Amino acid sequence: MLGFSIDEAVIAGHNRAQSKALDAGYARLCDQLAERDVDVAAVESRLASLNIAVPSWGLGTGGTRFGRFPGRGEPRDVYEKLDDCRTIWDLGRLSKSVSLHLPWDEVSDYRKLRLYGERLGLAFDAVNSNTFQDQPDQAHSYKFGSLTSTDAAVRRQAIEHNLQCIEAGVALGSRAITVWIGDGANFPGQQNLSRAFERYLDSMKDIYKGLPADWLLYIEHKFFEPAFYATVISDWGSSYLAATALGERAKCLVDLGHHAPNVNIEQIVARLAWSGKLGGFHFNDSKYGDDDLDAGSINPFQLFLIFNELVDAGARLGEAFQPAYMLDQSHNITDPIESLLISGEQVARAYAKALLIDRTALTQAQDANDVIAARRLLMAAYETDVSPLLAKARIDKGGAADPIAVYRDSGYRARKADERPVSAAGPAVRQSVL
Amino acid sequence: MLGFSIDEAVIAGHNRAQSKALDAGYARLCDQLAERDVDVAAVESRLASLNIAVPSWGLGTGGTRFGRFPGRGEPRDVYEKLDDCRTIWDLGRLSKSVSLHLPWDEVSDYRKLRLYGERLGLAFDAVNSNTFQDQPDQAHSYKFGSLTSTDAAVRRQAIEHNLQCIEAGVALGSRAITVWIGDGANFPGQQNLSRAFERYLDSMKDIYKGLPADWLLYIEHKFFEPAFYATVISDWGSSYLAATALGERAKCLVDLGHHAPNVNIEQIVARLAWSGKLGGFHFNDSKYGDDDLDAGSINPFQLFLIFNELVDAGARLGEAFQPAYMLDQSHNITDPIESLLISGEQVARAYAKALLIDRTALTQAQDANDVIAARRLLMAAYETDVSPLLAKARIDKGGAADPIAVYRDSGYRARKADERPVSAAGPAVRQSVL
Amino acid sequence: MLGFSIDEAVIAGHNRAQSKALDAGYARLCDQLAERDVDVAAVESRLASLNIAVPSWGLGTGGTRFGRFPGRGEPRDVYEKLDDCRTIWDLGRLSKSVSLHLPWDEVSDYRKLRLYGERLGLAFDAVNSNTFQDQPDQAHSYKFGSLTSTDAAVRRQAIEHNLQCIEAGVALGSRAITVWIGDGANFPGQQNLSRAFERYLDSMKDIYKGLPADWLLYIEHKFFEPAFYATVISDWGSSYLAATALGERAKCLVDLGHHAPNVNIEQIVARLAWSGKLGGFHFNDSKYGDDDLDAGSINPFQLFLIFNELVDAGARLGEAFQPAYMLDQSHNITDPIESLLISGEQVARAYAKALLIDRTALTQAQDANDVIAARRLLMAAYETDVSPLLAKARIDKGGAADPIAVYRDSGYRARKADERPVSAAGPAVRQSVL
Amino acid sequence: MLGFSIDEAVIAGHNRAQSKALDAGYARLCDQLAERDVDVAAVESRLASLNIAVPSWGLGTGGTRFGRFPGRGEPRDVYEKLDDCRTIWDLGRLSKSVSLHLPWDEVSDYRKLRLYGERLGLAFDAVNSNTFQDQPDQAHSYKFGSLTSTDAAVRRQAIEHNLQCIEAGVALGSRAITVWIGDGANFPGQQNLSRAFERYLDSMKDIYKGLPADWLLYIEHKFFEPAFYATVISDWGSSYLAATALGERAKCLVDLGHHAPNVNIEQIVARLAWSGKLGGFHFNDSKYGDDDLDAGSINPFQLFLIFNELVDAGARLGEAFQPAYMLDQSHNITDPIESLLISGEQVARAYAKALLIDRTALTQAQDANDVIAARRLLMAAYETDVSPLLAKARIDKGGAADPIAVYRDSGYRARKADERPVSAAGPAVRQSVL
């Protein structure tokens, strides 16, 4: 790791100082769960294997179209981003993998980058392509679309970029590519909605052909933005149509912020899981649109209900059901490391609570149409304060009892601010506001 | 027809009185369209073949859960509903078929009913089943679902009802059944979302087996209500999954009021048309939820954009593309006959305007990403006042130049109020508030 | 109380059987709160004084415009409704008052009714008028509005009804009237939006004049339904304009289900509290529209955030700040008594958690723009499982440790089903679906 | 004007070439309106006095947080923006004034700028302050708010900036300032919602004190973005509270894209007009959020309904009712000049149609609750193709019959692309994406 890192002894010291309170809290929770005949060890075992990837672009300060307020000590390249990921892993022990974004994270030598990551103990998750922005040296503009452009040369360029992403991913040891495009129309009439979809399928078929046999292709839909009238892949229905047209290894990815208002996201999760097309998640939270707020910050109950579906699907579908988890947030006013630590914890919290649901009793209540009993079973799990369980899981894996406290005490950000002086240009806004 | 009917001589007289103004308006429009090289005869020919079914339940006054304010002279049985349909046909010449709803329109002899309809010059459109309400003599309640109930006996009852609807429809000369269910959950946990969907498919497969070879089965999705947390068939994605699982003759039906806020409905139309699963429409309009307001009353531009997709799909898919059109509105404060007349006209208006779009120029503008030119082409068509064309089409088929004026002058409603004294019980609210 | 009631000895027996587990849970919680320096006694004292009124119409099974599935043993008149209220009070100890609705609860002798309620230990909360439905004997119809009708006679009738409600309320010992109207328009053009508002103000001024000096008038706004294009009092802004125009004793009432999608309700609460116009609440929950689901069932975090504002406002405004609390839910598929018990508990839970927020630290974090610290303070309170505190508060006041369990064991509903045979007509749908 | 401008002879030539078709179209429309007894001259006179300001930031290409795709020949400073405004005025004759944004349009000598504008025949509309972005030389950051910051120094800086805007505006001959802030919170707990509002009022009072006696202060609310959990001035209710607290000359400004989904904007217009607080408009259109699309491009009927309210309010309130009109759009994929020309025309179209409504008949229909008649009166006006009237109004004032055609034929943009070579840095994204 470049420059300052938080010593594991510091973490251990922190944990020791809190150990009495932690033990007491954990004991109280175990007592409570024992009354409900919960198999705590089984829950802990499943929690221990949870991984939630960090997106490389989440490590810088995000912004809105109205501006960006940079923070101190932001990583200036992918190596520094990996350093921050390692810090998140050291403290939170929930995010061992990182998801890169090309060309934002472009390097000349991906094997060297892979080695660097491996030395930090990190893995490389799905790679993400970018055909929603123009790069300085680009032959054709994506102003009017990329994979769906009416211009074959533009489509070809976008396809090639995706194939290059796969190539980079292979070098990094990734096993999947996530394709999100901003293609669409801002005005009625601008685009033939059906022909745009057909061009999308044609382009995606070319990308799919380039997919290694052990890779998955994730299709990410989005309700709107940057296209403001019609987005080519705007909902799970379109995503499913496309994934089906492409083949077995094409899956649908659910970003929590990419839906119409009021939509029941957990039901979409259930439908996609049922159809065998659920690829994974981009976790975040929102109140209005694609707000990209920290996961579990606005509607934690919804996150719990999503994990209720995931635990249920896992029970029905078995080992084959392995959706990929990633955080995808825009940290506009918080320290990205703090937000990612808390968000990972919120995801783990939702998962832990979902694991506490008495599923046998729930099925009985459902079959008997005992609505009140079913609600109470969910509420009993949801209202349980699983914080001690989460802390225990972290500590058992070498993480911090209180990651935020350790992080703040360590002075990490201030140290990085010194180590990473911002150049005149600074990180381009467009690299941080996804 | 039972009792009073509007004499065709009255209509003819009205039309004569307006003929000078009508001719002038029509001439002006033709001049305008000639400047744009529009083939008016071709447009008129397509308009002439437009049929928009009337739903039998739309002929009574609707209401909300807060109450119903009945109107005068409402039809008391399906025969009287047919009489009102005939009046609508006589005046508007857009709705030659009627869609029945069982058990609301249940009769002991469907052949006799068919004969009655045929004598009125009406055809019988898709039949609609009802498993969202309990009937007095019903063995099992649908309180907790029908086709998706956890109780096999309930599902069986609901399946049988649908099969009986098909049987009645066969006797009536219908060629399709529309299945809409209210099944779902009001609370998280109440229902296993995946197993409910599986039960739905199982039940629907039994219904599909009973479908005559020349029939279609329309699946109607609805975002919410009466289920308030999760609806089993809540969106076009679920509808498509189900239609695909069932087979060729299962199609998706789009009700304009059954979508999440802000959803781009014309894009859903495009996706379903592209996938070969677009069955038809329930036209209405809304501002908030499933408001069931008169078609084209809140957002006429959206209706135009939907017909833009339909004309486009027709051009690509050819004769095989024949979606079914129906109005599905709740007439809470207007005379249902007036609302249905105006709504039919609004649908025809949107269709006529969509036919005026210069599609060759539009494709050129789209291919060239000339957004402004594409917008202007749509606007040129949309801003055209096609009222004279619609009046001409009506008159040419024997209808009224101004259906509302003739209807009001005729005193039809007052006459029916005399002929149809309301019994103590009156038409049950539940029969009119769909 | 008429017929069967749950004996307090039965409750006591239940509580005894669970006392060991309850004590253990309570002790664990106290340990946890002691670590955070929470003054548990102070929280308990405030919880003890919480009252959440029950609406009389909530005691019957509700429905939607698509139908109603009645439950067993529903109360057939206001006396039987009071009996059910007493049962809710006996078990839950959160709802000591009941809010009547006229003419649904009309009786010939309100003093007798008051006596009956007092003997049951119940108080009479705000009275609710009804000018959104026509009553059989009514001179003028509200089909086109009531207080805002264009017809002076209709407005007069609606005003008189409200004055009679006040009169009945005076006899009952109520201290407030809640006015909700469904007035509005279904179509653009139907209503002059400004003149309708002026007529509303004129009518309300007449009602306000009839208000006793120690009464409050609550104005309840609603985004839509039954009016589907424009509702006269559709948002808090209109409500505020009206309350200001009327005078000091006119206040705004917030129903959680009466807002546009995504609206930040807790901010509306803050604005109304700040302006001195927050009168009270109708608690419920919803996912789509005015779903009238059980409070805290869909988004419990939102309920917590609302109470965060209420606790904050109370701290700033002092004793004068006394908003009225009521549940307003439609129990379509659950036993109303069970739903009201659980909903009351969810409201109390949100309040209890809001009382646990460390407000001094929160203010410091806010002033320092330490967003993460502020979030963590809220989450620490929200994630606390306050169930033992709620149970303790109930038991201390003589209620049941587990109200649902006692209720079910008692066989109350079955007994009432015997005692309350449904007449042929049954309770009219319209009386239960508010 | 700097460099190339479109010669008025060119415009005249274009108009002459179309004069026969134009005359015919106008004659047809006059015939049609004569049948309805419309006073065409009166309509034309009101149309002739319509002015819709152009915002200086709308002249560059906008973007989203995902990127910006610059166009050719964008203006590089406020002088070049004025040149483009002049071109818009020359062609469209609807937008004679321009609204500046500081510091984006900051110059050292505002009198010189005013002179330049006056020589172009342009006037300076409301000035707009900017405290939602940090400027390079700024002492304090607005990351956590500006006028509502918890830090008095930040608030003071933001107040001073607004006072400087007023000063610049005075020099320019403006008569109003528009204050929009992005202040709010991204997370529950981050901000004390009431105290933030109080700080807003305190800051605004200081600005209001600096307002010249003949100036107005427009408060612009926005539902969300850049704040994603709570925005301090998020709705018309908050805007009204603030405007009332400030005084007579504080008014509410309605941006069409700044509302919750499904909200009835024309009703808000009616309420604000009624209360005397309607200051003006930012016109644009949207389908999802604050999409900032071209006015009238997504829901032209809504724009018509808004003008229906404005015409109605004008009739009731008389000359004193003079709301300010401005376009506020983000031109991401179109030539800004073309979008502004079309948008101005769409606003004028909505106004013209609203002027065609037979208000006497409408009032009669409303008073008689003849819903269908009222709808038909609105539809008759809305369906009228007023294009010839708009063209006539333009030509009469010296503009182009077809502004887009003339603009394209002139080669204006290509000429400007030559005259305005883009520097390395280019116009900062943040200056164009409002």
Q: How far apart are CA B353 and CA B346, in angstroms?
A: 10
Which residues of chain A have a pLDDT value below 70?
423-434
Q: How far apart are CA B280 and CA B125, in angstroms?
A: 12
Q: Which residues of A touch D291 (CB under 8 A)?
A: 186, 224, 228-229
Q: Is D138 on the interface with A (CB under 8 A)?
A: no
Report the DSSP pairing between strands A230-231 and A184-185: antiparallel
Beta-strand ranges (E) seen in C294-360 are 324-327
Q: How far apart are CA B228 and CA B230, in angstroms?
A: 6
Residue D433 above 50 pLDDT?
Answer: no
pLDDT confidence bin for D432, thresholds 50/70/90: very low
Among B186, B293, B429, beta carbon nearest to C332: B186
pLDDT at D153: 98
pLDDT at B177: 98
For C47-89, the pLDDT digits (tens) are: 999 999 999 999 999 999 999 999 999 999 999 999 999 999 9
Give the distance from residue B216's alpha carbon to the nearest chain C alpha carbon, in angstroms.
25
D 388-427 residues with CB below 8 A of C?
Answer: none
Quick check: C189 and D366 CB within 8 A? yes
pTM value is 0.97
pLDDT at C424: 52
Q: Is B332 on the interface with D (CB under 8 A)?
A: no
Quick check: D226 and A332 CB within 8 A? yes
Q: Is D319 on the interface with A (CB under 8 A)?
A: no
Give the distance from residue B251's alpha carbon to the nearest chain D alpha carbon, in angstroms.
28
Please give the backbone phi and psi of residue D250, each rounded to the nearest 5 degrees, phi first.
-95, 130
Which residue in B195, B266, B271 sits closest to B239, CA to CA? B271
Could you give the C-alpha distances from B45 to B49, B50, B93, B123, in angstroms and in order?
7, 9, 14, 21
How many C/D residue pairs have CB atoms within 8 Å? Answer: 154
Q: Is A376 on the interface with C (CB under 8 A)?
A: yes
Radius of gyration over every alpha carbon of chain A, rounded to an integer in angstroms:
22
Number of H helices, E strands in chain A: 15, 13
Mean local confidence (pLDDT), C4-18: 97
Q: Which residues of D touch A63 (CB under 8 A)?
A: 65
Q: Which residues of B touch D294 (CB under 8 A)?
A: 375
Among A191, A228, A231, A430, the strongest candidate for a mutation testing the D interface, having the largest count of D CBs within 10 A, is A228
Among B231, B311, B369, B376, the strongest candidate for a mutation testing the A interface, having the largest count of A CBs within 10 A, is B369
Q: Tell me B332's DSSP state.
A: S
Q: Tell me A285's DSSP state.
A: B
pLDDT at B62: 97
Partners of chain A (3+ Cβ pairs below 8 A)? B, C, D
> Is D71 buried (19+), middle (13-18) or exposed (0-12) by CB count in 10 A?
buried
Per-position b or e across D242-261, b if 16+ CB within 10 A of its CB: bbbbbeebbbbbbbbbbbbb
Sorted by sequence, the CB contacts under 8 Å of residue B428 that are 6+ apart come out as none
Q: Which residues of D touch B352 (CB under 8 A)?
A: none
Please give the backbone phi and psi of residue B411, each rounded to the nearest 5 degrees, phi first.
70, 20
Q: How far apart are CA A214 and CA A207, in angstroms?
A: 15
pLDDT at D2: 82
Residue C429 above 90 pLDDT?
Answer: no
Q: Is C383 on the interface with B (CB under 8 A)?
A: no
pLDDT at C156: 98
Among D32, D299, D303, the strongest candidate for a mutation testing the B interface, having the largest count of B CBs within 10 A, is D32
Quick check: B261 and A264 CB within 8 A? no
For B119-132, the pLDDT digits (tens) are: 999 999 999 999 99
Q: How far apart are CA B238 and CA A98, in angstroms?
A: 33
Take residue B31 and report the two structure tokens written for it.
């001049």
For D88-109, the pLDDT digits (tens) are: 999 999 999 999 999 999 999 9
Q: Which residues of B touch D288 (CB under 8 A)?
A: 262
Mean local confidence (pLDDT), B403-424: 93
Q: Which residues of A touch C334 (CB under 8 A)?
A: 371-372
Quick check: A366 and B234 CB within 8 A? no
pLDDT confidence bin for B432, thresholds 50/70/90: very low
pLDDT at A344: 98
Share of chain B above pLDDT 90, in %: 96
Quick check: A223 and D293 CB within 8 A? no
Q: Is A288 on the interface with C (CB under 8 A)?
A: yes
Q: How far apart are CA B282 and CA B219, in angstroms?
A: 12
Among D223, D224, D332, beta carbon nearest to A186: D332
Which residue in D160, D161, D163, D169 sits closest to D100, CA to CA? D169
Mean local confidence (pLDDT), B275-291: 98
Q: How far apart are CA C130 and CA B244, in angstroms?
A: 48
Take residue C431 and report the two structure tokens written for it.
């009386």
Sorted by sequence, the CB contacts under 8 Å of residue A46 that are 6+ apart come out as A351, A355
pLDDT at D422: 82
For B220-270, the pLDDT digits (tens) are: 999 999 999 999 999 999 999 999 999 999 999 999 999 999 999 999 999
Q: Is B72 on the interface with C (CB under 8 A)?
A: no
Q: How far apart are CA C107 and CA C171, in angstroms?
A: 12
Q: Is C18 on the interface with D (CB under 8 A)?
A: no
Beta-strand ranges (E) seen in C53-182 are 54-55, 63-64, 67-68, 97-99, 123-124, 127-128, 176-179
Quick check: A274 and B308 CB within 8 A? no
Among A66, A259, A433, the strongest candidate for a mutation testing the D interface, having the largest count of D CBs within 10 A, is A66
Residue C117 above 50 pLDDT?
Answer: yes
Q: Which residues of B touch C428 (CB under 8 A)?
A: none
For C308-360, the pLDDT digits (tens) are: 999 999 999 998 899 999 999 999 999 999 999 999 999 999 999 999 999 99
pLDDT at D423: 67
Helix or strand or coil: residue C248? coil
CA D181 from chain center: how many Å? 17
How many A/C residue pairs have CB atoms within 8 Å? Answer: 70
Share of chain A above pLDDT 70, in %: 97
For D385-398, the pLDDT digits (tens) are: 999 999 999 999 99
Type and span of the H or E element at D315: helix D300-317
Q: How far apart are CA C181 and CA C402, in angstroms?
A: 38
For A175-188, the pLDDT digits (tens) are: 999 999 999 999 99
Sorted by sequence, the CB contacts under 8 Å of residue B287 that are 6+ apart come out as B293, B298, C224, C228, C229, D262, D264
Give the distance from residue D261's alpha carbon to the nearest chain A alpha carbon, in angstroms.
8
Q: Is A298 on the interface with D (CB under 8 A)?
A: yes
Mean local confidence (pLDDT), B187-215: 98
pLDDT confidence bin for B431, thresholds 50/70/90: very low
Quick check: D66 and A226 CB within 8 A? yes
User: What is the CB neighbour count within 10 angstroms for residue D9?
Assistant: 8
Helix or strand or coil: residue C5? coil
Partners of chain C (3+ Cβ pairs below 8 A)? A, B, D
Residue C144 above 50 pLDDT?
Answer: yes
